[in-house]
A and B are shown apart, each in its own frame.
Chain A
Amino acid sequence: MTDAQLGTAGPAQIPFQPEGERPARPEALLVATNLVKSYGPVHAVQGVSFQCNKGEVLALVGENGAGKSTVAKMLAGAVAPTSGSIAVNGEPLISGSVKKSRQSGVRCAFQELALVADWTVAENLSLPDGAPHHRFSQKKSVAAAAELLGTLDLPHIDPRATVGSLSLADRQLVEIARALAGGPELLILDEASSALTPPGVAWLFQRIRELTAEGGSVIYVSHRLGEIAEIADRGAVLRDGKVAGEFVRGGWTDDELVSLMAGREAARFFPDPPPRITDDVALSVSNLKSDGVHGIGLSIGAGEILGVGGLQGHGQAELLRALFGAAPATADSWTIAGRTISGTTPVRSVRYGVGYVPEDRKKEGLALEMSVGENLLVPWFKAYQLGGRPLLSRERGWISGILDALSVRTRGPKEAAGSLSGGNQQKLVFGRWMDRSRTVILLHDPTRGIDVRAKQELYAAIVDLAKQGVGVLWFSTEVEELVHVCHRVVVLYQGAVIDELEGERLTGDAVVGAAMGLRAAA
């Protein structure tokens, strides 16, 4: 039936159409009709229909678990819909094959990065399009990759570097570059900006505008409402696997959208940091050196929320890892809760009262096959105590307290952690340190890629921790979080503190400016 509606659509399956042949009136490029995807008894997507016109940016927004990623994966061919149809240029898309989707001009940059870590950037960029029996030349692929990265204005990425050695932000840029290569008709960006810094996002928007100017379309999946306001022409809000509403550019406010996503009146707000009651120092370190950290000194007061800003790859991840003892480090002086230490390891850090929420919840944070309860208890396992069921029932009070406090949506402590949505997984990594008399908590961008409601629950939990007198060191890629929720912000640049912002000087512009290496005149 969609074929009848779109009978006039241009020649199909030709990704590269010369400019100027397109009709001026909006024409549907992609029509998704009544998409349904069920995983056993779980209905991830139940009857989603929308269309994306040529030359427009369509935003898909919704909370985690609302079905955005599943929809994006169905469009990209990574997941076959249970029922429903997708048509590109009037031709039905052969579902369930990424290769076929790519050939139809539909390309996707995935949220969970789809790059091979042991391949070089050049290999990642060139291999997906070659047939297996084709000749492969390192030299040629490197040259082609260098040219592609050059045209896409990403000269700082070395095509010979293995992807595993790049920062998360650079990996995301490579992922986007791969989707852009070959001029897609429809580009799907599934949370593709989640690790990007403001200049990275500006770069992405520039590429999107170039693509749409040539008649390509973009489906933009994101949690960041500011980005959607800037780039999206139209949008659809998903909630519980259904389309809850649609919006057009300029016709919405943050609060409206958030309540549409949450299905209730909810305001987007940042809590204020709680007032400081003591001047006690929770953690102090001077001249901390580690791989990528070149002499950082800082001190976190008890009950203080100290933000860490800066562009990705300027030593934030390394700083947190060094402070937790996950990477070897040395310092001139180092105290935790007044106790002088010469160095630390993760085991000792937990004993000293330090908690750590790492960067990658799936790789470093959770044992996905193990249960929710066991994942919460991970730092508190002792070799000589009971495990499994007896331990879970003994700790039931604490576990259910944490699950309630963070409103973790789970079927109970025995559910496998891997079956939770991203935001709820992040809550587990965070929750294991709550109510455990911590001195300092180190947070590595805990709100990356999680939905608005989960974010606000995490903000509340972080503020609660500070109220209890815990020092919080919080690295965030979202400047707004740093400005609103932190007492103080240190901005890192090339592995050192370039500026410390507090009170009047703590503004979004100042944080971004310092991150670019500009030190504001005092």
Chain B
Amino acid sequence: MSVLASSSASAPAPTRLRSGGGMVRLRREGAIAPVSAFIVFLLVYVIINPELLTRFQLQTAANLVVPLALVALGQLIVVLVGGIDISIGAIMSLCNVVFATQLEAVPPPVAILLSLGVGLGCGLFNGLLVAYGGLPAIAVTLASAFIFGSLASEVLDRPGGGLTKEIYLATSGELVPFLPVSLVYLAIVAVLLWLLLQRTALGRHIYGVGSNMESVRAAGLNARLTKLIAFGLAGMVTSVGAMMLAASTVTGDPRSGDAYLLSSIAAVALAGAAFTGGRGSIIGTVLAACTLGLIGNLLFFAGINSYWQYVISALIIFTVVGLPVIWSKIAFAVKGARA
């Protein structure tokens, strides 16, 4: 009897189950609003400043948003497991100066590995205290931000380092005309992360740990290790962002990450991620970071005082985060009126 039930149930199932998976997932992860916001923003930008589509401006804009997008992705991973990383700016500064100073001493590939290693180490330091020490992420990362920041100043106390024009061209130039190479790096990191989060069990565990740690543990999964890996991974992604920043500004700067702390949190918020964990999307975060990163440019071209940049950023966040809430209220009222 149960055999009968199974064959009759599974026969129509595949066709029924396949439809519209990606859209559903985007909506569930809260990415529809930031993606739409980015499209609208880009249209407005191109209307106000059609020059964006020239080679020079594309390259400048890409170099501006790519470090922010990478750091925001790092922040997203920590937020997905239900944490928050206040030290992300300091990790960025530290990786930035490690990369810049090591370029003077060792070949570039070694410097890159060292910088990645420092990012991983910082992330694991936070992750160990949070996952295995059971301390709150906000307190741990706030404290470690001071340590990482001091270390960065110790490594390099004023802007400098051994960055060269070759490195600038390799990271921030153009791959082919109209395709800034930094966007390629961002795409590679984002796609790898997406594969990890959506197509491996570890990635789904990261979502699960943020959604409900106790349930994941009761199901027999290693929730602590998952958290630790997420923090370590976030540190490495942040390090990539730090190197991109160092390369595009052709300088190492021990304070370079400071501005990225709040921007990364803002981008994750704009991406519709849940700060309690378990919800957030890669594409939403990347596009949210692009939107926030380009606001300053847009205002410049629109002839508005750049102090308004933060107010406009705030308004965009209010709108994008608020619209789904208002929309659901309207939908309910419409449904009620129709019934």
Contacts and interface: CB of A to CB of B under 8 A. Distances in A.
A236 interface: no
Contacts of B220: 77, 97-99, 101-102, 128
A273 B88 CA distance: 63
A151 B2 contact: yes
A218 to B, nearest CB: 18
B90 to A, nearest CB: 29
A147 B6 contact: yes
B13 A146 contact: yes
B134 interface: no
Nearest to A76: B218
Contact of B336 (A78, A134, A178, A330): A330
Given A133-B202, A136-B201, A146-B10, A118 B226 contact: no
B50 to A, nearest CB: 40
Interface stretch (B125-133, B205-213, B233-241): B205-213
B13 A143 contact: yes
How many interface residues does chain B have, given as a range?
Answer: 35 or more
A116 interface: yes
Interface in B174-212: 198-205, 207-208, 210-212
B223 to A, nearest CB: 11
Nearest to B221: A128
Contact of B200 (A115, A135, A162): A135
B279 interface: yes
B215 A149 contact: no
Contacts of A112: 214
B8 to A, nearest CB: 8
Nearest to B212: A116
Interface residues of A, number: 50
Interface in A111-139: 112-119, 123-124, 127-128, 130-139
Contacts of A132: 200-202, 205, 222, 225-226
A127 B217 contact: no
Q: Name the residue in A77, A119, A178 with the highest tally of chain B Cβ atoms < 10 Å from its Cβ.
A: A119
B10 to A, nearest CB: 5
B5 A136 contact: no
A480 B272 CA distance: 46
Given A119-B207, A160-B21, A143 B219 contact: no
Interface string B104-138: 00000000000000000000000000000000000
A138 B198 contact: yes
Nearest to B201: A130
B325 interface: no
A94 to B, nearest CB: 12
B158 interface: no
A151 B5 contact: yes
Contacts, number: 133
B224 to A, nearest CB: 12
Nearest to B199: A136
Nearest to A138: B21
Contacts of A3: none
Nearest to B339: A289
Contacts of B219: 98, 114-116, 124, 127-128, 178
Contacts of B210: 118
A472 B219 CA distance: 39
A289 B207 contact: no
B17 interface: yes
A98 B218 CA distance: 7
Contacts of B9: 146, 149-150, 155
A155 B332 contact: no
B237 to A, nearest CB: 18
A508 to B, nearest CB: 27
Contacts of A178: 219
Nearest to A119: B208
Interface in B8-41: 8-10, 13-14, 17-18, 21, 24-25, 28
A328 interface: yes
B151 interface: no
Interface in A89-107: 97-99, 101-102
Given A147-B6, A151-B6, A153-B2, A289 B336 contact: yes
16 contacts: A102-B220, A112-B214, A118-B208, A118-B211, A127-B205, A128-B220, A132-B205, A138-B25, A139-B18, A143-B13, A146-B9, A149-B9, A151-B6, A159-B17, A328-B332, A330-B336
When A and B form their complex, which 8 residue pairs have the shortest distance between CB atoms, in order from nearest? A150-B9, A98-B220, A114-B218, A118-B211, A99-B220, A132-B202, A130-B201, A150-B6
Given A98-B217, A114-B219, 20 more contacts: A97-B220, A98-B219, A99-B222, A114-B218, A115-B215, A115-B219, A116-B278, A118-B28, A118-B278, A118-B279, A119-B211, A132-B201, A132-B226, A135-B199, A136-B198, A139-B18, A146-B10, A150-B6, A289-B336, A291-B332
Interface of B: 2-3, 5-10, 13-14, 17-18, 21, 24-25, 28, 198-205, 207-208, 210-212, 214-222, 225-226, 278-279, 332, 335-336, 339
